Structure 1
Amino acid sequence: MNVLIEKEIFDSVKNKDEKLELQFLLHIIWYNQRYTLLLNENVFSCVVIQEMSDIDKELLNLCFQQTIVSDVKADCIISERGVYIQDEKIFSRTEAIKYLLQPLSIIVENSLNDAHFINAIMRSYDSSQSFFKHASEGWVQFENAGGCGNVLNFLMARIKYFNNAPKFLRCYVLIDGDQRFPSDLVTKYDKLILNLNKWNVKYHRLEKRCMENYLPIHAIPKNNNTRDWINAYEHLTPIQRDYINISNGFWGDLNKEQKSKIEKECKKRKKRDKRNILLRNSIHKEIRNLYFDVSDTNFGYLALGIKIRDFKIKFPEYFNDTTNVYHKSLQEIVIHQSNPDELEDIKNDILSLI
């Protein structure tokens, strides 16, 4: 993360405590190269600079020289005006210490399971591997929002902790697309996204249905339980794979009333083999149109989802398969999307916050 300190911060130091506070702030930024310090003005005429050690002066001079020759953007600003600002990432000297000492919180619906997806992206797209350096230092943490509906409550509780100042949120939010077909209108995130924009919190909503849809096919182990499903899945087009309900199949896209109606009809006819025909006729028209060319046999294999015990725990772990999950294999998963750079964008957003 690029941290800009304005000249007035150095000019405003009047006593020993304020000098110690400034030095502490600088050392937070410099410690183990945690952040990048930007100085867009010459601060060496400031009294407090003259009283610093030669090492600190040398580091400040290096930061100044690098800032003026580079074209980098500040991710947060330390300024005297920070005390009057609630939303933008502009902080006073005291506020900046509180903000920068926080680890980056990556907020997902399930921190234990969804972390595998993020780690796979960073492992495959971040050539510097700085993400894992920061994670090993405890400067990155995955936060469990407790389901998509609770992300907003989670963030509001944190804002309250920071005296109702959203600028202290040091977060990245990742949410599923949840679309069942390309034109599916999903509104459950509208209020959350409205507030994330208002609070200047970086977020990403996945283009595919959910994280599981980004897993390369060859990372899914083939066995007696999964073979037929995988073979059917391989015959789908890339767009069809983007929106398939991997865990619960087409059956999972029905509501309770539709499921009950199919079960009653099968029982009445005493023919369970008619279930998939009834299912195909009952799913949403747009889902039916998306998978119109899927054979009845393959539709049947996909109908109830892949048979993996403890799916929500086990399936995300397949992202750790470095033999089959790497930059090229992940890029092949997104190359056809409206944004083929989606995973690269996620990586860049996260790196800008650490």
Structure 2
Amino acid sequence: MIIKINSNLFNQAENVTKIDLVLSHILNRRYNLFFDDEDIIDTSIWSNEARTQYKELLYEAFVATLQGSLKHDIELKENDNVAENEFSIDNGIIFLNSEVFIFLENATYDSCFIKGLITKFKTKGKKIQSFLDQKWIRIENCGGKGGIINQVNHILSSYNNDSLENFRYLRGIVIMDSDKKHKDDSYNDENGIIPFCDENNILLHILEKREIENYLPLELIEKIENLNQNELESFKKLTFDERDFYDMEKLSTRDYNTKQNFPSLFLEEELLQEMILKNCEHQNLPNEPQLILNKINSLL
């Protein structure tokens, strides 16, 4: 995310410390800075109290802005105009300090899928991994589809006492299974998650395949010895489209539970990016794994 700090704020004594708070995020590489007013560095009220490292940061940002033709995502100003992506500096600080939320039906299992994509698609996953390492992303467990709205509302409630509508501060994405049994099935939104996400400016990704387990390639699955071998032979005979909506729990045995054990396979070194892509190339969205990462990156 690229932040612009309106030049007027640098000449308001009450905002000097607040500007430093924003710049600390830039210095820590959490966000990038759009800066096009070089005079501010030496002639503003802020410059009289500024730390040397922040002045150097502004010089670097000024050069990068001119050379890179950057566009900012939000601007911090004296007043809010959220429709134009403008925040007062006070509300902007709340927004920028907030974690990015990834809401999952089951964080224990589904997070393995997300972390696997981050690991296998290193270029698109690099920034996401950095945010995870710094704890700037929080993965939320919703306890199934029925708990998604309640969990998002719980996070939204933490902003109820702030001046803007609470959803204005929340950057989040809901990622959930389609639970479709056949390719041509329509998604059953019995919980009203789609309109809820629209109303609260939450990104939503419904998996094209049935569940996360359906994204595992056959060559990885067939190496597991404790699966139901009769079911596995039947599974191998299915078309790619049929495998996408197969109930993987049918492969479970007394000694191996696919629901519990399959998700960790996304973290195995043996699983390669090429294998994931091959397993998705027939889909309506053959680039779905990259699309999921792009959506998360758009929040950072």
Same fold (TM over 0.5): yes
Provide closer, same or farther for how the CA distance between residues 56 and 229 of structure 1 changes in structure 2, counting only shifts above 3 A: same
Deviation at 1:89, TM superposition (A): 5.5
Of 101, 106, 109, 1:105 maps to: 101
Instruction: Flag the 1:98–1:246 CA change in 2: closer, same or farther, 3 A.
Output: same
Task: Give the TM-score of the pair, scaled to structure 2.
Answer: 0.86
**Does the C-alpha gap of structure 1 residues 210 and 189 become closer, same or farther in structure 2, counting only changes over 3 Å?**
farther
Counterpart position of 2:129: 132
Alignment of structure 1 residues 232-311 onto 2, 5 Å: 232-247=234-249, 304-307=250-253, 309-311=256-258
Superposition RMSD on alpha carbons, in Å? 2.4
For each residue in 1:107-134, what CA deviation from the matched residue of structure 2 results, as whole angstroms up to 9, or x when unmatched?
A: 1001111110001111111326232222
1:180 is paired with a residue whose SS is coil
Do 2:16 and 2:46's aligned partners in 1 also have CA atoms closer than 8 Å? no
Match of 1:80 among 62, 67, 78: 78
Tell which structure's C-alpha radius of gyration is larger.
1
Amino acid at match of 1:58: E
* Structure-2 separation of matches of 1:147 and 1:225: 25
Q: Unaligned regions of 5+ residues in structure 1, if any?
A: 248-303
Q: 1:79, 1:234 → 2: CA distance?
A: 59
Identity between Structure 1 and Structure 2 (%): 25
Equivalent position of 2:189 in the other structure: 188
Question: Could you tell me which of 11, 18, 23 is aligned with 1:21?
Answer: 18
Partner amino acid, structure 2, of 1:81? N
Distance 1:143 1:235 in 2: 37
How many angstroms apart in 1 are the aligned matches of 2:85 and 2:149? 20
Letter in 1 for 2:266: F
Stretches of structure 2 that go unaligned for 5 or more consecutive residues are none
**Aligned-residue offset at 1:72:** 4.9
**Preserved CA contact (<8 Å) 2:26 2:33:** yes
**Matched-pair contact (CA < 8 Å) for 1:2–1:352:** no
Q: 1:94 to 1:335 in 2, by over 3 A?
A: same
Distance 1:48 1:326 in 2: 54
1:144 positional shift? 0.3
Q: Secondary structure at the match of 1:95?
A: helix
- Distance in 2 between residues matched to 1:169 and 1:67, nearest whole Å: 27
1:313 equivalent in structure 2 = 260
Equivalent residue of 2:248, what SS? coil
1:81 shift after superposition: 3.0
Q: Distance in 2 between matches of 1:88 and 1:316?
A: 41
Q: Larger deviation: 215-224 or 179-188?
A: 215-224
